[in-house]
């Protein structure tokens, strides 16, 4: 998110000038309604729900079969890329991918230690106001009772409706419920499954995806299923004759390794199937929130059809559009029609419209090394990000990775407990709040954009963020100050507010001095991370 976004009026004008890309009504079993599958209609009809603006903090279960090896992200792709650490692990642990591929990881996802109700209680205590279940990742496996895809969790693996059980637990706990859909990228993500080892004893032998058909499943756990529907078909298959690992990696980088948003070449059936599965997902679970892992909406008219269908269903359910649909890297004519999501990144400005960033305390899928080397984000890191995002009119969606069996480790439990302790004292500064006229101040300059967390070096004790609620101004100190902190934005020369009381949440009144050039606050010592001061007085918010 770089620079302030355009106004709704400007976006409506841009949307009207953009190609409508109108799809046929009712494609794939969608419902009709006032929202049409084009950007002008989405922008005109959509309003951000108050529940989302109030919620601020969600927890995400980014959990599925790729959690089983406990190796981190994109296991289903990297196991096929000879020389990659995950490929080495797979060969040593499960076997060679000419015989044992990603399909064979699915039945190992047993979820035998998964207790959704107990986990949900932890998430609620840690402050979550909405909960999101991964419904289907790039491995093309549906974690729900899918009507249009046999490769799903009710038939293979846990043999449970994972999304459905999460949905019941979340709603029973009073949370809004969401789903995430990542399968539009499966077709290019899975192309290495059709490849081969360029060197070694299996040189040139094609992997399981290349040679298997439905008939080969006779007598196996996947009998009656077509592996080509799982692996998506031969769209960008590495040619014969590549004779080095570096050359094979270069081929994949130049072809299927890109983040491709288009329909697979010559295969509109994949896009139609994507739409059917998406419509089935929202019809079945009536989610309040839906996350698309896409730049804009997937597959042009199919994505527009999915969005219109979701919004029209919401009108049927609630009498209005009361749901949130997120997408990334929105073009100007897309703003206000869906909610902008910034994956693992920052914003450098206060946005007029609500937005979201999503991140994880570790890898998206469980990585045991994060536990053994203690490299998770701390609770302090999470609350700092939450304060920064909320001050800029955003929400934070945080993933807590689960092991393949459904449990979380002791370090994750500690992080959640520390979040719960902070929320018990300071949550009034977050939930139901609205932005101040500026987000804050301090020496740390954030670089706007996605996927740039790794380069972030941390906040300073002079970095403060602001929120407002019920006539009060809240000052959140991203670093616990070791000395009095002067805030220039709250001086009498720059701000009309006149301070009558300054109270540190959980600690009591604090000394303050408001002068023309600044407001100086002296916090209580040893009060933990991200302390909050509530400012009350005439015109403070």
| Residue 467's CATH number | 2.60.40.1180
Rounded to whole angstroms, the Cα distance separating 57 from 394 reads 9
Reading the block at residue 537, the tokens are 């007085």
Radius of gyration over alpha carbons of the chain, in Å? 25
**Same-domain status, 485 and 353:** no
Q: Assess whether pLDDT exceeds 90 at residue 427.
A: yes
Asked if the structure places residue 435 within a domain, the reply is no
**Same-domain status, 401 and 525:** no
- Model pLDDT for residues 496-540, shown as the tens digit of each residue: 999 999 999 999 999 999 999 999 999 998 778 999 999 999 999
Query: Given this model, what pLDDT does residue 20 score?
Result: 39
In the block, tokens 């890309």 appear at: 21
Bridging pattern class, strands 324-328 and 440-441: unpaired
Q: Assess whether pLDDT exceeds 80 at residue 10.
A: no
CATH number for the domain that contains residue 144 = 3.20.20.80
Rounded to whole angstroms, the Cα distance separating 134 from 129 reads 17
- Model pLDDT for residues 146-188, shown as the tens digit of each residue: 999 999 999 999 999 999 999 999 999 999 999 999 999 999 9
Whole-prediction pTM value? 0.95
**Same-domain status, 28 and 145:** yes
User: Where does the pLDDT of residue 19 fall: very low under 50, low under 70, confident under 90, or very high at 90 and above?
Assistant: very low
**Same-domain status, 12 and 88:** yes
Read off φ and ψ for residue 370, nearest 5 degrees.
-65, -35
DSSP, collapsed to helix, strand or coil, labels residue 467 as strand
Bridging pattern class, strands 394-399 and 355-360: parallel
Query: Given this model, what pLDDT does residue 14 score?
Result: 56
Asked if the structure places residue 118 within a domain, the reply is yes
Query: Average pLDDT over the chain, rounded to whole?
Result: 95
Nearest-CA neighbor of 58 among 356, 315, 461?
Answer: 356
DSSP, collapsed to helix, strand or coil, labels residue 407 as coil
Query: Given this model, what pLDDT does residue 26 score?
Result: 41
Give the mean model confidence (pLDDT) for residues 104-125. Answer: 98
**Same-domain status, 320 and 465:** no
Number of domains in the chain: 2
Give the mean model confidence (pLDDT) for residues 423-429. Answer: 98
**Same-domain status, 390 and 469:** no
Contact 79, 372 (CB under 8 A): no
Nearest-CA neighbor of 78 among 344, 278, 292, 363?
Answer: 363
Q: Assess whether pLDDT exceeds 90 at residue 45.
A: yes
**Same-domain status, 168 and 274:** yes
Reading the block at residue 39, the tokens are 């950007």
Query: Given this model, what pLDDT does residue 8 score?
Result: 61
Give the mean model confidence (pLDDT) for residues 393-421. Answer: 98
For the chain, what percent of residues have pLDDT higher than 70? Answer: 94
Q: Assess whether pLDDT exceeds 80 at residue 124.
A: yes
Residue span of the structural domain in which 480 resides = 460-538
Give the mean model confidence (pLDDT) for residues 253-277. Answer: 96
**Same-domain status, 100 and 153:** yes
Q: Assess whether pLDDT exceeds 70 at residue 362.
A: yes
Query: Given this model, what pLDDT does residue 30 score?
Result: 80
What DSSP designation does 304 have?
Answer: H
To which H or E segment does residue 360 belong? strand 355-360
Query: Given this model, what pLDDT does residue 9 score?
Result: 59
**Same-domain status, 303 and 353:** yes
Give the mean model confidence (pLDDT) for residues 98-106. Answer: 98
Asked if the structure places residue 2 within a domain, the reply is no
Q: Give the full edge-to-edge strand order of the sheet including 519-522.
A: 485-487, 519-522, 511-514
Asked if the structure places residue 356 within a domain, the reply is yes
Give the mean model confidence (pLDDT) for residues 67-87. Answer: 98
Asked if the structure places residue 194 within a domain, the reply is no
Nearest-CA neighbor of 308 among 26, 84, 69?
Answer: 26
Q: Assess whether pLDDT exceeds 50 at residue 25.
A: no
Rounded to whole angstroms, the Cα distance separating 196 from 206 reads 5
For the chain, what percent of residues have pLDDT higher than 90? Answer: 92
User: Where does the pLDDT of residue 455 fall: very low under 50, low under 70, confident under 90, or very high at 90 and above?
Assistant: confident
Rounded to whole angstroms, the Cα distance separating 24 from 36 reads 10
Q: Assess whether pLDDT exceeds 60 at residue 27.
A: no
Asked if the structure places residue 525 within a domain, the reply is yes
**Same-domain status, 46 and 165:** yes
Of the candidates 384, 407, 427, which is a domain's last residue?
A: 427
Query: Given this model, what pLDDT does residue 509 score?
Result: 97
Asked if the structure places residue 232 within a domain, the reply is no
Asked if the structure places residue 308 within a domain, the reply is yes
Rounded to whole angstroms, the Cα distance separating 364 from 366 reads 7
To which H or E segment does residue 397 belong? strand 394-399
Q: Assess whether pLDDT exceeds 90 at residue 6.
A: no
- Count CB neighbours of 177 within 10 A: 22
Q: Which residues pair with 59 in a beta bridge?
A: 131, 398
**Same-domain status, 354 and 471:** no
Read off φ and ψ for residue 369, nearest 5 degrees.
-60, -30
**Same-domain status, 423 and 465:** no
Q: Assess whether pLDDT exceeds 70 at residue 224.
A: yes
Of the candidates 427, 443, 477, which is a domain's last residue?
A: 427
Q: Which residue has the higher pLDDT, 240 or 32?
A: 240
Strand boundaries in 257-346, DSSP class E: 289-295, 324-328, 339-343
């Amino acid at each position: 998110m770089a620079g302030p976004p355009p106004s709704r009026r400007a976006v409506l004008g841009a949307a009207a000038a953009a190609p409508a890309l109108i799809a046929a009504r009712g494609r794939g079993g969608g419902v009709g309604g006032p929202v049409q599958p084009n950007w002008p209609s989405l922008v005109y009809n959509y309003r951000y729900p108050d529940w989302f603006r109030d919620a601020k903090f969600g927890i995400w279960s980014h959990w599925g079969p790729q959690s089983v090896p406990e190796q981190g992200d994109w296991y289903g792709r990297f196991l096929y890329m000879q020389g990659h650490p995950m490929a080495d692990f797979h060969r040593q642990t499960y076997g060679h991918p000419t015989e044992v591929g990603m399909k064979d990881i699915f039945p190992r996802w047993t979820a035998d230690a998964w207790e959704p109700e107990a986990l949900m209680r932890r998430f609620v205590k840690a402050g979550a106001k909405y909960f999101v279940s991964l419904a289907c990742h790039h491995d093309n496996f549906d974690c729900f009772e899918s009507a249009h895809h046999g490769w799903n969790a009710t038939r293979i693996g846990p043999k449970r409706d994972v999304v459905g059980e999460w949905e019941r637990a979340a709603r029973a706990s009073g949370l809004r419920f969401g789903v995430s859909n990542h399968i539009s990228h499966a077709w290019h993500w899975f192309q290495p499954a059709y490849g081969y080892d360029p060197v070694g004893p299996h040189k040139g032998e094609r992997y399981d995806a290349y040679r298997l058909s439905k008939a080969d499943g006779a007598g196996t756990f996947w009998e009656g299923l077509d592996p080509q529907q799982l692996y998506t078909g031969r769209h960008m298959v590495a040619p014969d004759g590549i004779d080095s690992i570096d050359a094979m990696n270069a081929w994949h980088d130049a072809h299927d390794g890109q983040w491709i948003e288009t329909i697979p070449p010559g295969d509109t059936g994949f896009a139609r199937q994507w739409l059917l599965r998406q419509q089935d997902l929202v019809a079945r679970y009536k989610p309040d929130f839906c996350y698309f892992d896409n730049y804009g909406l997937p597959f042009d008219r199919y994505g527009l059809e999915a969005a219109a269908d979701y919004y029209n269903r919401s009108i049927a359910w609630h009498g209005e559009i009361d749901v949130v649909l997120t997408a990334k890297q929105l073009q100007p004519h897309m703003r206000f029609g869906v909610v902008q999501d910034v994956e693992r990144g920052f914003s450098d400005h206060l946005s007029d419209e609500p937005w979201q960033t999503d991140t994880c305390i570790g890898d998206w899928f469980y990585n045991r090394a994060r536990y053994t080397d203690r490299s998770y984000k701390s609770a302090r890191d999470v609350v700092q990000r939450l304060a920064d995002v909320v001050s800029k009119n955003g929400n934070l969606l945080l993933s807590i990775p689960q092991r393949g069996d459904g449990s979380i480790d002791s370090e994750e439990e500690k992080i959640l407990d520390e979040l719960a302790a902070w929320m018990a004292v300071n949550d009034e500064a977050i939930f139901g709040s609205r932005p101040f006229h500026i987000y804050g101040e301090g020496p740390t300059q954030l670089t706007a954009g996605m996927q740039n967390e790794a380069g972030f070096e941390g906040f300073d004790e002079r970095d403060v963020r602001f929120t407002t609620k019920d006539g009060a101004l809240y000052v959140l100190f991203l670093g616990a100050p070791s000395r009095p902190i002067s805030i220039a934005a709250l001086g009498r020369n720059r701000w009309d507010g006149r301070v009558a009381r300054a109270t540190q949440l959980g600690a009591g009144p604090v000394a303050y001095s408001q002068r023309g050039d600044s407001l100086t606050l002296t916090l209580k010592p040893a009060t933990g991370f991200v302390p909050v001061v509530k400012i009350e007085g005439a015109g403070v918010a």
